[in-house]
Structure 1
Amino acid sequence: MSAKAEMPANRHLSLPDNRVIAYSLDDSPEGGPVVLLSNPLCTNIAVWDHIVPVLNHAGFRTLRYDQPGHGDSSAPADLTTTTFDTMVTDVAYMLDALEISKLWAWVGVSMGAAKGIFFATAHPGVVRKLIICDTITCSPVNAGVEDPFGPRVASARREGGMKGNANATLQRWFGDAWLEDHPKEAERMRKIVLRTSLDGMETCCDALASETFDLRPLLRKVGGAVEEAVCVVGEKDANLPQTMEDMRGKIEEGFREAGKAGKVELVVVPNAGHVCFVDGLEEFVKLIPKYLQAEVK
């Protein structure tokens, strides 16, 4: 049976403000600890389809969900109200509704990684292991650099769709050479990006561009919130290898301050870009079960 055929159907949960959050929770392996997979911008649940069977085989159930306005999740009526704090509240509500009090791990990429840091530090003890992949540390306004998000939204609005943005996004993430060499996977990713609504792109880009997005005050708090943390980055992801090395150092300082022994590791995925579990799939599926396994039988 193909990996796609094994994927459980998406489910839908009504949030208190009448928005819908779409999610997928594996039924098997029965009793397996839950690993939450948190998506990058402009993707949906399907982006993890190659990863889920690997984690299932290693003994884990996965919980995936769509960001606001992505996939089958609805965007808010006011597109300026979404922040990382409000998105964390959505996830906390979903976990409560599903009666999941503990996550074996949170594996997040890009926006999904940043959200993992917000969630873990807001809800200490809920996430056991935090795996943070390919994320910036703060919004452009906080970093003092030009905002890339607003122009992307404006371009998509002018076009009236995601086609042009999808092409540009895939080029940034993977580069033309990889896209040409992997046409089947490139097309799968293009279809995933195209399912993002314009409202979804705008509301999440607004959160990423907001002054409220700043991981730097939270990094040292990670050590007091989780038992283990690992940073992962694609080798070819612009300047993020250095950014995430700096982030790793701050997180490790927080672990020492919390009286926890052990080193926070930075893993560089060779030849991978921003969504390192796609173009770096072979290496990613080796390292993730390794860092998740611990005493799970």
Structure 2
Amino acid sequence: MQLDINGIETRYVLSNEGGGPWLTFIHQLGGDLSIWDQLAGYFRDDFTVLRYDVRGHGATAVPDRPFSVADLSRDLAALLDALGAPHTHLVGMSMGGMIGQQFALDYPARVDTLTLADTSSGTPPEGRAIWDQRAAAARCDGMTALAPATLDRWLTSDFQTSHPEAVEQIRDVLLRTSPQGYALACEALRDFDVREMANAIRVPALVVAGRHDTGIPPSVTEAIANAIPGSRFELLDAAHLAPIEQSHRFAALLETFLATGV
């Protein structure tokens, strides 16, 4: 389904078989809502599950001007408003985790719990050039040139060997991503920095990292857990897309967390 959200035609999928509390999933850079297919199916009997394509990704339109992670936070707020959701449990992976942190700071009363996976609270000065390089590569060479290195960051070699169909689906989504949408998102993530504000997040938080994540080292994600009072940190045997590579373990952790808030 599509809605005009802040002037951007936005695709979303709502699964509310259970009619329960809202549970919103936010995907990674170069992904789309399909990354959450399995987890959405797991939770839809007990929750009203929302997934959507972030600006410039999937079937959501590419904006004609730069945007910030704060803009992406406002997009989520507007989408929830349009769907009549006053508050939600929130799950974000990588870029989605950055949006989740910004949203929890911007709209704390609208977040029931916050689950962050394989993400950071900001890019240090020495890391900004990487985002510029990825943005330039997308614009100049297209997504095909970025795909091999991206998949090797996202998934361990063991997972790639043992789950070729899942890897192919993830690759296809990455290759179909708009180069301009990807580049604009890279620039938004380059400028994102809430490292000095993370300790102001006052909602129950579960923070998850992949042990083999080379894109965002586990120590960077763990620092978020250390900053958010009372949060819980879990390390999974996975690379950057830990909730996907270790989907059963992640689902069990999330189910317990949603039931208890700890």
In structure 2, how many angstroms separate the alpha carbons of the residues matched to 1:67 and 1:192?
13
Q: CA deviation at 1:140?
A: 4.1
Decide whether the 8 Å contact of 2:210 with 2:238 is kept in 1.
Answer: yes
The answer to whether the Cα contact below 8 Å between 1:136 and 1:240 also exists between their aligned partners in 2 is no
Q: Which residue of 2 aligns with 1:35?
A: 23
Equivalent position SS for 2:78: helix
CA separation in 2, counterparts of 1:120 and 1:235? 26
What corresponds to 1:95 in structure 2?
80
* Separation of aligned partners in 1, 2:111 and 2:50: 13
Report the Cα distance in structure 2 between the residues aligned to 1:229 and 1:119, rounded to whole angstroms: 13
Indicate whether 1:20 and 2:2 are aligned: no
CA-to-aligned-CA distance 1:136-179 (integer Å, 9 cap, x gap): 221243xx3352122122222232x3122122211111133431
State the partner residue of 2:33: 45
Q: Is the 8 A contact 1:117 1:218 kept in 2?
A: no
Q: How many residues align?
A: 260
Whole-Å separation in 2 of the counterparts to 1:242 and 1:19:
35
| Pick aligned residue for 1:139 from 112, 116, 123 | 123
Q: Does 1:214 align with 2:193?
A: yes
Q: Which residue of 2 aligns with 1:73?
A: 60
Gaps of 5+ in 2: none
Distance (Å, rounded) in 2 between the aligned partners of 1:285 and 1:85: 28
* Structure number with bigger Rg: 1
Report the Cα offset of residue 52 of structure 1: 0.7
Q: Which residue of 2 aligns with 1:84?
A: 69
Question: In the alignment, is residue 171 of structure 1 matched against residue 152 of structure 2?
Answer: yes
Whole-Å Cα distance in 1 between the matches of residues 252 and 108 of structure 2?
Answer: 28
Cα displacement string for residues 200-235 of structure 1 (whole angstroms, at most 9, x for unaligned residues): 10110010112xx11212211101xx2x11111111
Give structure 1 stretches of 5+ with no counterpart.
Answer: 1-10, 253-262
Q: Secondary structure at the match of 1:230?
A: strand
| Displacement of 1:181 | 2.6
Alignment RMSD (CA, Å): 1.6
CA distance in 2, matches of 1:289, 1:192: 27
Secondary structure class of the residue paired with 2:228? helix
**Is residue 230 from structure 1 mapped to residue 206 from structure 2 by the alignment?**
yes
TM-score, normalising length: structure 2: 0.94
Instruction: Map Cα deviations across residues 56-108 of structure 1 (whole Å, 9 max, x no partner).
Output: 24x11211111111001111111x2x1011111111111111111011x1000
**Residues 69 and 75 in structure 1, CA contact (< 8 A), matched pair in contact too:** yes
Q: 2:169 and 2:128 mapped to 1: Cα distance?
A: 31
Q: 1:146 to 1:90 in 2, by over 3 A?
A: closer
SS in 2 for 1:147: helix
TM norm structure 1: 0.83
The one of 243, 247, 250 equivalent to 2:220 is 243
1:37: Cα distance to partner? 0.2
Cα offset, 1:247, TM superposition: 1.8
